[in-house]
Chain A
């Protein structure tokens, strides 16, 4: 891949993270020492990937593991299955509420993967359910869901106004008995972002999941949503999980939908999301060996960050995508995550909003009133 960003540090210590290699969807011979297996388990725990490894080992037989690892994978699988059952039950209750609203229940991310039983759903642990509703019906949806037991979380006046004015979602709603959290989106990126897609275009192409009462974004939009979430939102705690999601989505859709990568590229142009798609293609291919032909990456490369800034982005992203575990960190990792966090805000908000917002957050953190 020397045509872009010059010589990519393929042999960088970070890209050899012991977990990353195991997340590549190919049959592999794995011989590790006991302490390396221990490290793999630790990295997988910190990246919430133990259950996904279980899927790769037990269902896909990509590699085999010693008994002492198999025990932990099975345990994570049991936990994953119980989480799936809880999510499934929640989704059914939500579908009932949406029947009353006469609105299709459009699931995003993990909820959609689970309902459609996509490969990306296996071993993917998540706690919040994300849905998409048209902006003009937000209030109505919120008021109906309150009667079903979902209450908006209490926020102070600033946060409430912040959500209301600038965000692409309502403040999270929590179910009063079951304590599940629901995020209601009216778009996939905030209204303040420099490129934010037209939600009606997303809505116009939703597809029904089989014979169920669930809907999801069309395949291309699902990948674009995941890509913009990861590469524009600056939250990398689940970065590696999100990357493996995209890897699995692209692999599966490429087999099921003719010319999928081409359609995906065209769609990214329609929604002005070429840059996040470029990053998704580039890292799925270089880190997880996702079968994406170079021509697709090259076609999008003009939308990436160019020159020295591009090189810097690559250095930052490679670090931020690794498991949040000290064994994957070098001395730049902390700085990289921080710079990407600032960048995500930069992309999402104009400066006159950004500076007071970050100052307020720093103040809260310094005075110990907030953790994040």
Chain B
């Protein structure tokens, strides 16, 4: 299916979980990337309503003669400085994360991956370098459903996890590791020299997209830690400490005030919480997570 025309004219509206995103871009890497990564998503009529209107374009001015750049626009607002032209596709993903985390206070939004198996959702909060996305990619290639790689949305009223599945963003060595372990996984072209190093986007499985309206109950929170030469371990941690760490990783915990406290409190109470360290052996890690949700 070709998105080129609708993308160029701003008539492409993609349904991503609860959000409708209108994307406009004539940049080849964005068109190819979206055609590849978003081909399983519902496409809505271009004259309908969209929650977010994002555009990737080249900035005006003379600069593009010696240094091509790409600009991210949220409706008519430019929240970021332009990036090198080659980073257009990851810029789309980062920019969209910014839109969602700043304008959807009906959810408590946590910087965490969230996946589900046997109706049990598992949250992987991520400090940079913790290996959150690597684990997430490995698990969704092994039968887990992807709810989100970056943004865990907790509905402030129901306390349920609302899926917003999007491509999984892998960095540096993790790209090769996942590609070698799961040769069937589909990746966008790796973009080098970004502020996060090399970035490759992995396409979510069609089954996760088809199920994106199914909300889930959180059963586990697992803080991952990637560490060379350490045996795999899964240790329960103190709930009060976990509360503070999650509040810290949330984009809008302070905005939600008392409601944020209550929603997070409920989440912490209903989940089993662990610290997980592993040395990069993904198959062993998958086995460990699978055992968690059995029975």
**Interface positions of A (Cβ within 8 A of B):** 33-35, 37-38, 42, 45-46, 66, 68-69, 71-72, 74-76, 78-79, 81-82, 85, 325-326
Contacts and interface: CB of A to CB of B under 8 A. Distances in A.
Contacts of B104: 71, 75
A176 to B, nearest CB: 19
A37 B103 CA distance: 17
Given A34-B47, A37-B49, A325 B105 contact: no
- Most B CB atoms within 10 A — which of A34, A76, A325? A34
Contacts of B77: 45-46
Nearest to A324: B76
A38 B254 CA distance: 28
A82 B76 contact: no
B106 interface: yes
Interface in B104-118: 104-106
Contacts, number: 53
B49 A68 contact: yes
A45 B50 CA distance: 14
A81 B259 CA distance: 12
Given A46-B75, A82-B255, 5 more contacts: A37-B49, A38-B49, A75-B104, A82-B254, A82-B256
Interface residues of B, number: 20
A94 to B, nearest CB: 21
Given A34-B48, A34-B49, A38-B50, A79 B105 contact: yes
Contacts of A82: 254-257
Given A325-B76, A326-B76, A35 B257 contact: no
Binding site secondary structure of chain B: loop
Nearest to B53: A42
Contacts of A33: 47
A75 B103 contact: yes
A157 to B, nearest CB: 28
Contact of A46 (B51, B76, B106, B257): B76
Interface string B1-42: 000000000000000000010100000000000000000000
16 contacts: A34-B48, A37-B49, A38-B22, A38-B50, A38-B53, A42-B53, A46-B76, A66-B49, A68-B20, A71-B106, A72-B51, A78-B255, A79-B105, A82-B255, A82-B256, A325-B76
**What are the nearest 6 A-B pairs in CB distance?**
A34-B49, A78-B105, A75-B105, A82-B255, A34-B48, A42-B75
B29 to A, nearest CB: 26
B255 A42 contact: no
A87 B198 CA distance: 42
Contacts of A71: 51, 104, 106
B44 to A, nearest CB: 10
- Most A CB atoms within 10 A — which of B48, B77, B255? B255
Nearest to A36: B49
Nearest to B50: A38
Contacts of A326: 76
A366 to B, nearest CB: 13
A354 to B, nearest CB: 29
Contacts of A325: 75-76
A74 B47 CA distance: 24
Interface in B237-264: 254-257, 259
A85 B53 contact: no
A285 B106 CA distance: 36
Contacts of B48: 34-35
A325 B49 CA distance: 18
Interface in B243-295: 254-257, 259
Contacts of B47: 33-35
Interface string B31-72: 000000000000000011111010000000000000000000
B261 to A, nearest CB: 13
Given A75-B104, A75-B105, A42 B76 contact: yes
Contacts of B106: 71, 74-75, 78
Nearest to A45: B75
A110 to B, nearest CB: 19
B34 to A, nearest CB: 20
Contacts of A37: 49
A44 to B, nearest CB: 11
Nearest to A38: B49
A35 B22 CA distance: 11
